[in-house]
Structure 1
């Protein structure tokens, strides 16, 4: 016979499971977007891209609802998370949000650079359940190799790309503070930006060859980062 306490526990578990449904919707939208890129469905490619970060933001709001009372230690982390998603959205839609610019690349890099700095601040200041993974030193090697490969092709963008690369690597390193989910998310996010940098600056690397891969890595990276952060927020003292 089921006891009232056991019934309440099962109900609570089921209610808690519903917190993550938004990420399933985000995953479905990501699949649609990547499919649109792969099959050159231009009518839905850009609109679905613009919907990615709002969908992920809604998933995060649903996941942390009721867990951010005033004075909660999780509240600053959630604030930084939603700001990071907002700036990622600006980066995704740089051509849409900054139509007055002749080239949207600087606005895209600036928006994502701010988003990465917000992620770094989030992990370093508010979510540190474990130390930085020793293996993350590999990201320093990644940075050195990328700069060496791209150096001859960067021209006036050399310094901005060097700084931006350091920020990208910083996010991947900081993400190891949050555990496996965020560490894997940070690695995928970095892989996405690496492929994008090769496409933008390295002669012979085409958008057709890298487009789907860039967005697969990007949507996985952002999704896993946010999912991991929301799980950590749920465990934070209230």
Structure 2
């Protein structure tokens, strides 16, 4: 058997679920604690979510020093800092902005497999509608919120250039952050189970992006 054939046998495009066990376990505990109003458990599990996903990314990567993996880890680290600093809203927002910029670089330079899809225009429309609804309620945070919304919608739009897992991850990020913004600036909207829905879509978004990244990297290495 040739070296290339051996590589294709050893590195299959579909990553194993095993590296995702840490994020699955931590997520189940965290989401269960939200539903049961165990706020102490919520507080100590939230900072463990992104490190658990970093473990999964590095564990499942066929080439751990590949640029795509490095950018993915960078985005997750920025997200982790955003998670632990979001109680100081502007600081947390700034780190999530950096996370989306890292994801943008990843999608454009490493994971793109097609053109931006036509339906990605929905993200621009979403941003206009959301800012129209929330703009008057953001006060002095209007400019930071607009800047963040532009980068978030761009990240999701460019995620549509990648495989379906990454594209879905970008879409769920928009859903999660939209609910977070509505819950913060327009609490009278009364989103049912808001905290749970925000976190379940956020965790799903990050996990799908990592899963899609690993599928792309394993396919790339297998075909090399």
Q: What TM-score, normalized to structure 1?
A: 0.84
Distance 1:84 1:40 in 2: 29
**Contact 1:20/1:62 (<8 A) preserved:** no
Q: Does residue 1:175 correspond to 2:159, yes or no?
A: yes
Distance 2:118 2:125 in 1: 13
Distance 1:184 1:113 in 2: 19
Query: 1:196 aligns to what?
Result: 180
Distance 1:17 1:36 in 2: 31
Distance 2:82 2:46 in 1: 11
Q: How does 1:145-164 map to 2 (within 5 A)?
A: 145-164=129-148
Q: Which has the larger radius of gyration?
A: 1
Distance 2:192 2:122 in 1: 29
Distance 1:212 1:203 in 2: 15
Q: Unaligned 5+ residue runs, structure 1?
A: 96-102
Structure 1 residue 134: Cα displacement: 1.0
Work out which structure has the larger RCO, using CA pairs closer than 8 Å and 6 or more positions apart in sequence: 2
Query: 1:122 aligns to what?
Result: 106
Query: 1:143 aligns to what?
Result: 127
Distance 1:15 1:134 in 2: 31
Q: How does 1:1-238 map to 2 (within 5 A)?
A: 19-64=16-61, 67-68=62-63, 75-94=66-85, 104-205=88-189, 209-236=193-220
Structure 1 residue 68: Cα displacement: 2.4
Q: Secondary structure at the match of 1:178?
A: coil
- Count of aligned pairs: 218
Distance 1:69 1:57 in 2: 11
**Contact 2:13/2:215 (<8 A) preserved:** no
**Contact 2:13/2:219 (<8 A) preserved:** no
Distance 1:205 1:109 in 2: 22
Q: What TM-score, normalized to structure 2?
A: 0.88
Distance 2:187 2:169 in 1: 28
Structure 1 residue 195: Cα displacement: 0.3
Q: Unaligned 5+ residue runs, structure 2?
A: none
